[in-house]
Amino acid sequence: MTAHERKQDTRLRIGWIGTGVMGHSMAGHLLDAGWPLTVYTRSKAKAEPLLARGAAWGESPAAVARASDAVFSIVGFPADVEAVMLGPDGALNGLARGGILCDMTTSSPELARRIAAEAEARGCASLDAPVTGGDVGAREGTLSIFVGGDATALATLRPCFEAMGKRLMHCGGPGSGQQAKLANQIAVAGVMFSVCESLLFAKEAGLDVAQWLELVVPGAAGSTAMNTLGRRLLKPDYAPGFFIDHFIKDLGLCLEECRRMRLVLPGATLAEEFYRMMQAQGQGRDGTQALIRCLAELSGKEWRGQA
């Protein structure tokens, strides 16, 4: 990219909706890279650190869009996406012709296609661009980003994506970014059982789990989750890099797509049932690694970690 192109990029006015665990860091990278940023979140207090660094405040998603050329969102659930994008005071109602909507929430492929159709009808473009990499990837700007939708809009926003992540895939038309992310979540569901069951077995076998982990992580049984969440479980630390409540949402979306495709995935189905059971027990705001407590309880055990 030439210096002239980089200067042009920084003139793009960016709107950002949602400053939670992921969104706060992602928006911060755009601010650091020099894009003028207008933000909105349901609780203004969550946006205060960004406002202190120079971001402007929008009183609603529509107000954010009126001040922006492109509007990103990363919120909780598909209903939230629909409200902030298509609602009466949503971003599409404030966005000028030629503007771009980009939802980075893990959401419904069908909703992504509907947003794209309504945006196109108003002379705008839309992308669905969910991410993987968790809170650590968001903070470090190393996310992987799955993008569905208009290729021209993707080219326009590519510098923004590059400020937030290290890997990007254009998956196809509207909704395909969401489908790619759901495939990722199916993989995560299996990995979480792998991490938690193996640590629990090692502990009950009387092994030094911390030492065992150091040998396993570099090998064939290792994974990013083993390296990060496995280490948190030794403390034990159940703070959310990703909320159980949100993972249940994702797995539910996976199973909806499976029904549409007439596809049976027993592992994803089992994971959704286990996490719903934990949610019913009041653990929905814990991180997904808290699965180890549920697995321990099945055998009348208690996971206490290993300091």
Q: Is 81 exposed, middle or buried (0-12, 13-18, 19+ CB in 10 A)?
A: buried
Q: Which of 44, 46, 166, 181 is catalytic?
A: 181
Amino acid letter, 18: G
Amino acid letter, 283: Q
Q: Alpha helices, DSSP H only, in the chain?
A: 3-11, 23-32, 44-52, 61-66, 78-86, 109-121, 134-140, 151-164, 176-204, 209-216, 224-233, 244-261, 266-280, 291-298
Per-residue CA distances from 242 to 36, 236, 237 (Å): 28, 16, 13
Selection from 59, 132, 61, 137 nearest residue 102 by Cα = 61
Reported residue count of the chain is 307
174 neighbors 102 (Cβ within 8 angstroms): no
CA 165, chain centre distance (Å): 12
Helix/strand/coil for 249 = helix
Q: Quick check: is 181 catalytic?
A: yes
Q: Annotated catalytic sites, by residue?
A: 181
